[in-house]
A and B are shown apart, each in its own frame.
Chain A
Amino acid sequence: MDGMRIARDFVDIGALAEIPRLGARTVTTGMGDIAIFRTADDRVFALRDQCPHKQGPLSQGIVHGASVTCPLHNWVISLESGQAQGLDKGCAPHFAVKVEDGRVLLALGVPA
């Protein structure tokens, strides 16, 4: 199987309903865990599940607006860009993700 092809395409990773609103779930990949976030208004975002600060699992943070607060040291990371907010500097890689017919589709090879 052509690994590159899979990576570039959108892959069904599950139902939107499996992710709690204002919460996250993870997807295990060869390149580490990816955190899939769902906002209050049902938008989804995908970030590498590592805070740019000390690699805290962002998927375990509190989601508010389109940001997540890292559970280890309270850095606030933008879900849209992966950028640390405020005075903190750093960026979590982000990935293309979309919802179609209630299913969440993730594309690892496509920069969001």
Chain B
Amino acid sequence: MNMMSAARRKLVVIGNGMAGMRTVEEILHRAPGMFEITVFGAEAQPNYDRIMLSPLLAGDKNFEQIVLNSLEWYAEHNIRLIAGEAVTTIDRAHHTVTGEHGTVVKYDYLLLATGSNPFVLPLPGVERPGVMTFRSVSDVEKMLSIAAPGKSAVVIGGGLLGLEAAHGLNLRGMEVSVVHLMPTLMERQLDASAAHLLERALTARGMTIYTGANTESFDGEGEHGAVHSVTLKDGRRIPADLVVMAVGIRPNANLAKASGIATDRGVLVDDAMRTSDPAIFAIGECVEHNKQCYGLVAPIWDMAKVAADHICGAAQSGFMPVASGTRLKVSGIEMFSAGAFMGDKSTEDVILRDAARGIYKRLVLRDDRLVGIVCFGDARDAGWYFQLLKDEAPLGDLRDTMIFGPVMAAGDPHEALAQMPDNAEICGCNGVKKSTICNAIAAHELCTVEDVRARTKASASCGSCTGLVEGLLKLSLGENYTPDAVKPMCKCTSHGHDEVRRRIKGGALKTIPAVMQALEWTTPNGCASCRPALNFYLLAAWPGEYVDDAQSRFVNERMHANIQKDGTYSVIPRMWGGTTTAGELRAIADVVDKFNIPAVKVTGGQRIDMLGVKKEDLCAVWQDLNEAGLVSGHAYGKSLRTVKTCVGSEWCRFGVQDSTAMGVALEKATWGSWHPHKVKLAVSGCPRNCAEATIKDFGVVATEAGWDLHVGGNGGIKVRATELLCKVTTEEEVMEYACAFLQLYRMEARYLERTAPWIERAGLKYVQERIVDNAELRRSLFEDFLHAQKFAQTDPWAQEATSPALGKKFNAMAELV
């Protein structure tokens, strides 16, 4: 007998978004199998986390990572998903809905979760290609199809969504301007003081902020050409390859209105989330409840519970709006606001301001209760404040110390953490609550910060809550918590290399002083060990943006030559793949004669070394070499050194591939790149391997079928032979794999760690998973490498020899006799 299905009532949900699916989940939770559920979604995708569109745009997440309900989930719960079909009519008399492609479905209960539409400014040029809104995955795809480093983007609207879009585009390397109508940014969440600090922080990231600015038009070629600039009412003109409008949303109540359901700004609902038609409920951004519309997620989750209660007949709950807090999802900018943050005549303020460090906290009090919060620059305690606000309890003595946070209030940081409510947010960047972390520690027997990061994402972005996560591990594990002994970078800091790299990226730290400030360096300007490391990490993290600090370079990299024991230098020009010409050799011979260079030697990397060059002769030597077409060989740097080759199939009777041409191509692509340590490549034309490719960082050995790629070898004190990474067929593949491998190495190895110890530490499998198995990641590493190379491939010799200002350092500033 199939009693259940005969008795099952039909629930149709219009809208496959967060609000609708959350309600479905709540219903399944209360009464599994009670309804036969059909979901209509206008978007083709499964339900995804719309809040995560900004990390998607910024490239911090991919689409799979933001999917909330996979297609399998719908199948598992016997939910019929009709994706990509918008509903056009509701026939309330016959209890049916009809989709745009003609699908007709009967309902007993109908749930409207049609969300909202972005507000589009009715300005001239708004229909031009390149002008868009920021609301859906397809909007993000459109933006990314235009976004490219160096191009310009204008974001209209300096509210929460607009700034997150601006941040994402900025991370994509675009020149971003934000045009905001009001005098201060995010005026619905921030007071003027906090908004000022926010503006300063965004400007420091390279954005241009126009406040009090009114848009006049979007301009382009002809009537229908793509947008190329935005004109403001005051006549100013901002270049724009891309315009994103983020000026607000309006509830999407059209379908309800057309069906005769009561609407005003949104679909009108009572406390049970029921519309004027008792069989029809509505929820989320499309509704209007007590003259209020909602766009933040917390109250919408509450609505979902209430609607589910009533649809299932489980409880007689009612929707009660509670205060919700706002955070800006811009990594490295900590900001939180909630409640009556502006204050009024009946309120009092407790304010902490540390302008130099960009910290501002304001707590708004009324009748001894906390009613409003603004935190900027330091939102670690926001979760605690927010709980105080929601508790609405009298503050009493707490008022004296509350601005300093729960640690001060409890007197003991350990106790404060223990006291923190379960739903207090620990990681602001990833929105991870205390309970989520503690539950994960218990359920998966996590015992290190790394474990917690991998499982929950807490402290995985900017890292400023690492201390709290450690504290929770201590609380959960007690004596059993033994923190990993992380080796500090040097005596100037307690942080290890990996932590420093993560904080540079997560905190958008872009100068050595900024890193030292944010990570609380104990020395004023570091030491000879950490400064070169930081310089490299910044260079690798922010290509084209970070300005190399010559004073943080070891002498050889500053002088573009190798210092010798007597204080003279050795000069090695590049010989592409070990090839040279009579002209080049003649130029080298002339330079040796002209400058009385005492020694000339052939190096192990197939080039020619001139030893004993005086510091003051360097520029002139380079100039002569440059004239013959010779450039710096970077034989002095933590950088790409040589690509050694054998003659290969061009000449050798055993050769099976043109190893010389492959080597020259690799060297042309990779020269000038900076690395944690020196990097050597080699290409052999047959398995006899005359180029000794199997003791190189990246070795290529030709076979009849293509190329074997080997990694992680070196000569030196501890000889290590390479391990086979994989086999490929074409030259293009060799190039892509080599560059992707180098990029992974330079982004993940610690400074002064060669590929051999790095691979021993990370494991060959780890490298293979990224370079061989994951084509998408390999492609993106390859592209990152090529992008960085655009800024790295400048011959430093030519630069020094032609710039009198730079050249000065080779000569004495004065002579006293």
**Looking across the interface, which residue of chain A has its beta carbon closest to that of B552?**
A62
A36 to B809, CA, bound (A): 12
Quick check: B531 and A64 within 8 Å, CB to CB?
yes
Given contacts A13-B813, A71-B555, A108-B816, contact A65 B532 (CB under 8 A): no
Q: Does B204 contact A (CB under 8 A)?
A: no
Quick check: B532 and A62 within 8 Å, CB to CB?
yes
Shortest CB distance B538–A (Å): 16
Quick check: A65 and B813 within 8 Å, CB to CB?
no
Q: Does B526 contact A (CB under 8 A)?
A: yes
Quick check: A74 and B816 within 8 Å, CB to CB?
no
Q: Does A47 contact B (CB under 8 A)?
A: no
What are the residues of chain A within 8 A of B815 when measuring CB–CB?
Answer: 27-29
A23 to B549, CA, bound (A): 11
Per a CB cutoff under 8 Å, which of B525, B532, B565, B809 touches A22? Answer: B525
What total of chain B residues lie within 8 Å of the partner, measured CB to CB?
27
Per a CB cutoff under 8 Å, which of B524, B525, B554, B813 touches A36? Answer: B813
Q: Does A93 contact B (CB under 8 A)?
A: no
Given contacts A56-B567, A62-B554, contact A25 B528 (CB under 8 A): no
What are the residues of chain A within 8 A of B814 when measuring CB–CB?
Answer: 13-14, 27-28
Q: Which of B528-586 contact A (CB under 8 A)?
A: 528, 531-532, 550-552, 554-556, 558-559, 563, 565, 567
What are the residues of chain A within 8 A of B551 when measuring CB–CB?
Answer: 20-23, 62-63
Per a CB cutoff under 8 Å, which of A62, A72, A108 touches B565? Answer: A72
Q: Does B817 contact A (CB under 8 A)?
A: yes
A15 to B474, CA, bound (A): 56
Shortest CB distance B221–A (Å): 47
**Looking across the interface, which residue of chain B has its beta carbon closest to that of A55?**
B567
Q: Does B808 contact A (CB under 8 A)?
A: yes
What are the residues of chain A within 8 A of B558 when measuring CB–CB?
Answer: 60
Quick check: A28 and B812 within 8 Å, CB to CB?
yes
Quick check: A11 and B528 within 8 Å, CB to CB?
no
Q: Does A78 contact B (CB under 8 A)?
A: no
Per a CB cutoff under 8 Å, which of A11, A33, A65 touches B812? Answer: A33
Per a CB cutoff under 8 Å, which of A60, A64, A74 touches B525? Answer: A64
Q: Does B620 contact A (CB under 8 A)?
A: no
Shortest CB distance B425–A (Å): 38
Per a CB cutoff under 8 Å, which of A20, A33, A60, A65 touches B555? Answer: A60
**Looking across the interface, which residue of chain B has its beta carbon closest to that of A31?**
B816
Quick check: B816 and A27 within 8 Å, CB to CB?
yes
What are the residues of chain B within 8 A of A25 when measuring CB–CB?
Answer: 808-809, 812-813
Quick check: B563 and A30 within 8 Å, CB to CB?
no
A40 to B531, CA, bound (A): 13
Quick check: B567 and A40 within 8 Å, CB to CB?
no
What are the residues of chain A within 8 A of B531 when measuring CB–CB?
Answer: 62, 64
Q: Does A61 contact B (CB under 8 A)?
A: yes
Shortest CB distance A51–B (Å): 10
Shortest CB distance B156–A (Å): 41
Quick check: B552 and A65 within 8 Å, CB to CB?
no
Q: Which of A25-82 contact B (CB under 8 A)?
A: 25-30, 33, 36, 40, 54-57, 60-65, 69, 71-72, 74, 76
Shortest CB distance B72–A (Å): 57
Q: Does A91 contact B (CB under 8 A)?
A: no
What are the residues of chain B within 8 A of A88 when measuring CB–CB?
Answer: none
Quick check: B816 and A11 within 8 Å, CB to CB?
yes
Q: Which of B790-816 contact A (CB under 8 A)?
A: 808-809, 812-816
Quick check: A26 and B817 within 8 Å, CB to CB?
no
Shortest CB distance A42–B (Å): 13
Per a CB cutoff under 8 Å, which of B524, B528, B812 touches A62? Answer: B528
A71 to B817, CA, bound (A): 27
What are the residues of chain A within 8 A of B809 when measuring CB–CB?
Answer: 20, 23, 25
A15 to B330, CA, bound (A): 44
Q: Does B145 contact A (CB under 8 A)?
A: no
What are the residues of chain B within 8 A of A108 when measuring CB–CB?
Answer: 816
Q: Does B290 contact A (CB under 8 A)?
A: no
What are the residues of chain B within 8 A of A72 when measuring CB–CB?
Answer: 563, 565
What per-residue 1/0 map shows which CB atoms of B492-529 lie under 8 Å from chain A?
A: 00000000000000000000000000000001111110
Shortest CB distance B661–A (Å): 39
A57 to B555, CA, bound (A): 10
What total of chain A residues lie within 8 Å of the partner, measured CB to CB?
36
Quick check: A26 and B567 within 8 Å, CB to CB?
no
What are the residues of chain A within 8 A of B526 when measuring CB–CB?
Answer: 64
Q: Does A19 contact B (CB under 8 A)?
A: yes
Quick check: A18 and B808 within 8 Å, CB to CB?
yes
Shortest CB distance B623–A (Å): 21
Quick check: A60 and B817 within 8 Å, CB to CB?
no
Quick check: B528 and A57 within 8 Å, CB to CB?
no
A26 to B558, CA, bound (A): 16
Shortest CB distance A41–B (Å): 8
What per-residue 1/0 map shows which CB atoms of A69-112 lie under 8 Å from chain B?
A: 10110101000000000000000000000000000001010000
**Looking across the interface, which residue of chain A has its beta carbon closest to that of B805?**
A18
Quick check: B813 and A64 within 8 Å, CB to CB?
no
A72 to B567, CA, bound (A): 9
Given contacts A25-B812, A30-B817, contact A64 B563 (CB under 8 A): no
**Looking across the interface, which residue of chain B has its beta carbon closest to that of A60?**
B555
Shortest CB distance B489–A (Å): 14
Quick check: B565 and A54 within 8 Å, CB to CB?
yes
Shortest CB distance B666–A (Å): 31
**Looking across the interface, which residue of chain A has its beta carbon closest to that of B815?**
A28
What are the residues of chain A within 8 A of B559 when measuring CB–CB?
Answer: 60
**Looking across the interface, which residue of chain B has its beta carbon closest to that of A26?**
B812
A80 to B567, CA, bound (A): 23
Quick check: A40 and B524 within 8 Å, CB to CB?
yes
What are the residues of chain B within 8 A of A62 when measuring CB–CB?
Answer: 527-528, 531-532, 551-552, 554
Quick check: B816 and A69 within 8 Å, CB to CB?
no
**Looking across the interface, which residue of chain B has its beta carbon closest to that of A67?**
B527
Shortest CB distance A63–B (Å): 7
What are the residues of chain B within 8 A of A33 when measuring CB–CB?
Answer: 812
A40 to B551, CA, bound (A): 11
What are the residues of chain A within 8 A of B556 when measuring CB–CB?
Answer: 71
Quick check: B525 and A13 within 8 Å, CB to CB?
no
What are the residues of chain A within 8 A of B552 when measuring CB–CB?
Answer: 22, 62
Per a CB cutoff under 8 Å, which of A19, A21, A57 touches B567? Answer: A57
A25 to B526, CA, bound (A): 21
**Looking across the interface, which residue of chain A has its beta carbon closest to that of B563?**
A71
**Looking across the interface, which residue of chain A has its beta carbon closest to that of B817?**
A30
A56 to B556, CA, bound (A): 13
A18 to B813, CA, bound (A): 8
Quick check: A13 and B528 within 8 Å, CB to CB?
no
Quick check: A69 and B813 within 8 Å, CB to CB?
no
A23 to B809, CA, bound (A): 10
Quick check: A20 and B525 within 8 Å, CB to CB?
no
What are the residues of chain B within 8 A of A71 when measuring CB–CB?
Answer: 554-556, 563
Shortest CB distance A43–B (Å): 12
What are the residues of chain B within 8 A of A26 when measuring CB–CB?
Answer: 812-813
A11 to B817, CA, bound (A): 12
Per a CB cutoff under 8 Å, which of A29, A63, A106 touches B817? Answer: A29
A25 to B532, CA, bound (A): 20
A19 to B811, CA, bound (A): 12
What are the residues of chain B within 8 A of A76 when measuring CB–CB?
Answer: 527-528
A33 to B567, CA, bound (A): 12
**Looking across the interface, which residue of chain A has its beta carbon closest to that of B566?**
A55
Shortest CB distance A77–B (Å): 11
Can you name 28 A-B pairs with beta carbons within 8 Å? A11-B816, A13-B814, A19-B813, A20-B551, A23-B550, A23-B551, A23-B809, A25-B808, A25-B813, A26-B812, A26-B813, A29-B816, A33-B812, A40-B524, A56-B567, A60-B558, A60-B567, A62-B527, A62-B532, A64-B525, A64-B526, A65-B524, A69-B528, A72-B565, A74-B528, A76-B527, A76-B528, A108-B816
Identify the 8 closest CB pairs spanning chains A and B, nearest first: A69-B528, A71-B555, A13-B814, A62-B528, A25-B813, A60-B555, A22-B551, A28-B815
Additional A-B contacts beyond A20-B550, A23-B551, A25-B808 (14; CB < 8 A): A19-B813, A25-B809, A27-B812, A28-B812, A30-B817, A36-B813, A40-B525, A55-B567, A57-B563, A57-B567, A61-B528, A64-B523, A64-B525, A106-B816
